[in-house]
Structure 1
């Protein structure tokens, strides 16, 4: 049986990804490693610290020892650590937002990125810029922080989180060609957005799709 280990920096990414694995890779065994101190430490410092990267290495090394066929990094805030760890871990590592960034940079020149924490916004913007450069495309990125949304979600007020985020997305839609939701936890809002003039991309579906494609290539 295929074994996939997912490394989470908080509990809010577990269920959205579990649902996607059930749809796309129903026969795989998915093991979740959750350490909510990782994102908390990144947010406190304001950037990805060496200590967080070291702990991520430990978790991914453990995943390798568990016999994982592939590892999924579920958090954009620590995604850049994956670039380093790919050279240290033998097991293939997929970043949950990489396929989404590639798609966004191919869809339009004006890209809006919405996040609820700045530590996710900045690496997502850099990732999109990197993918656009690889495609030889010139892009303009509009950054948007939905202030107060993440705190509402942590406090258990999902309705407030959704309201803040929905308004931010709708306002941004008139000024860009495509909108990227920078966090897995934001994806559940997409069905409730209704008709918008631009596509809205979220990472759970494409991230798990990238896992599926990586597994098929390795087969």
Structure 2
């Protein structure tokens, strides 16, 4: 059985990703989870500090030491920190940022000259997600326009435990971008449940969890 590592900053997402990774893999896998809410709390209050990168690197090194074939960091706020960790630790099990698959798919759907709307509920995610979409576009040889909307009220609702209100606000924002963008990107994995609340839309709406799980099993040759 192949081991796969996952690093979470939102405890509730561990079960979601566990199911997605095991469903995406063609072979039997054993997901090994590390849950550390401190990483996100610190990144939201003081930024992605060297201490955050050090702690994330320690988690990835721990998982590699347990023999995992790959590691998925499920927090989009830590996307650029994930890349720094990979550069620091060097060769070994691949390390995947949660939103890479989503960004690549968004660029593919938008096409050259397309419009990508990024919705986020946490301010610390907006910059990393916007930069990632532009970088994916450059790699694909196209140019896209990225518009970012920060849904602070939805973020507060989730923080207070009002998930129904969170999903309602995210769904309303998805509706506002209908016809104004070629694709809508939900920056946080925790926003994925709001897609069903939005109902059928002519504009594609992307969330990261399933695409990230697929990317993890692809880079570890478990498809």
TM-score band by shorter chain is: over 0.9
Aligned to 1:42: 43
Q: CA deviation at 1:12?
A: 3.4
How much is the aligned-residue C-alpha RMSD, in angstroms? 1.5
1:55 matches 2:60: no
Aligned to 2:164: 159
1:179 matches 2:184: yes
Q: CA deviation at 1:110?
A: 0.2
Q: Assess if the C-alpha contact under 8 Å between 1:24 and 1:212 holds in 2.
A: yes
Aligned to 1:128: 133
Q: How does 1:65-214 map to 2 (within 5 A)?
A: 65-89=65-89, 90-108=92-110, 109-214=114-219
Q: Assess if the C-alpha contact under 8 Å between 2:168 and 2:194 holds in 1.
A: no
Q: C-alpha distance in 1, partners of 2:187/2:208?
A: 8
Q: C-alpha distance in 2, partners of 1:88/1:122?
A: 22
Taking structure 2 as the reference length, the TM-score comes to: 0.92
User: After the TM superposition, which segments of 4 or more aligned residues of structure 1 sit over 3 Å from their partners?
Assistant: none
Aligned to 1:8: 8
Q: Assess if the C-alpha contact under 8 Å between 1:110 and 1:140 holds in 2.
A: yes
Q: Assess if the C-alpha contact under 8 Å between 1:16 and 1:188 holds in 2.
A: no
- Alignment gaps of 5+ in structure 1: none
Q: How many residues align?
A: 217
Q: C-alpha distance in 2, partners of 1:115/1:16?
A: 19
SS of match in other structure, 1:88: helix
Q: CA deviation at 1:157?
A: 0.9
Q: CA deviation at 1:147?
A: 1.8
Taking structure 1 as the reference length, the TM-score comes to: 0.94
Q: CA deviation at 1:118?
A: 1.0
Moved more, 54-63 or 5-14: 5-14
Q: C-alpha distance in 1, partners of 2:134/2:12?
A: 26
Q: CA deviation at 1:101?
A: 0.4
Moved more, 8-17 or 173-182: 8-17
SS of match in other structure, 2:161: coil
Deviations 1:106-160 (A, max 9, x none): 2111000001001111101100000001111111111011122122112211111
